[in-house]
Structure 1
Amino acid sequence: MSVKRTKQNDEDEELLHLTKLLSQIHKEYFSTSENSIIEILKNKKKIFTGISFYASNTTFKKKIEDYGGVLTDDITKCTYVLTHKTNKVNINTYELYKSVVLDEVYIFECIYRLKKLNVENYILYDFSGDEKLISELFIE
């Protein structure tokens, strides 16, 4: 006994085919997506690796540490001083310690883009006199 082909049977077969196809697409998408997320989470710790920041505002501490950096209380041991562009900064102190002062926006931009950015666009003051520190340490 043969099954009579009807429009409904054709539609049912098409739905079954689409279901299989969509299941396969879903499986492939999420298998690569999970791997991408795992890679992103592994690499996030590398963004600020080897960098120590000094900031009077400690709200950055957790973010900086989560992304591999250090927030130090000792200005003499920091790579960069962070401040908000509109804050009054203690120029004499930063000059004395030959600091490079960055806009704190740098932290957020690096986290947003999930990579270490070149600091040149975020420098508010540079008392280091060390061009190498600026140009070679952070290349986007």
Structure 2
Amino acid sequence: MSDSASPAPASPAPASPAVKVKPPAPEDEPFATFVPELLLPALAKEIQSYGGPAAELSFEQGPMPVVGSDCWMLKGSLPGERRFWLCFTSDNINSAKTVAIAESGSEPSLLESFLIDEKKMSLALLVSRLVQRLNGQKWLGPN
């Protein structure tokens, strides 16, 4: 008896593995998008996680507190007329940054270097260190 079964069809060549396209990191967004659309909401959420009232946050270009040179800045205010500024010397999150703070009824009198030893900025790093600085002032939550 002859085997009349036809040979099995050739199996297709294995498909090459799909190249996974990694979405761009938040930090790859243009500065003018990154700060207002990503940094401000993330910072607001983190500040509120301490249980205190929401911060009023804005993003603008103007004179840097204390020295008056032009910069991009994230401006914030908390209840009790407490104010803070995160200043960028250029429109790049990796540019030199400073922080200024002012208690109620006073103007900022000191600029502090901010994240000067970091090689690459990230959204998480900017948020966590700024919140850490504000919490160090005992401005957040039930301090």
| Structure 1 or 2: more helix by fraction | 1
Do these two structures clear the TM 0.5 threshold for a shared fold by scoring above it? no
| Structure 1 or 2: more strand by fraction | 2
TM-score category, normalised to shorter length: 0.3 to 0.5
Task: Please tell me whether Structure 1 or Structure 2 has the larger radius of gyration of its CA atoms.
Answer: 1
Q: TM-score, normalised by structure 1?
A: 0.33
Q: TM-score, normalised by structure 2?
A: 0.32
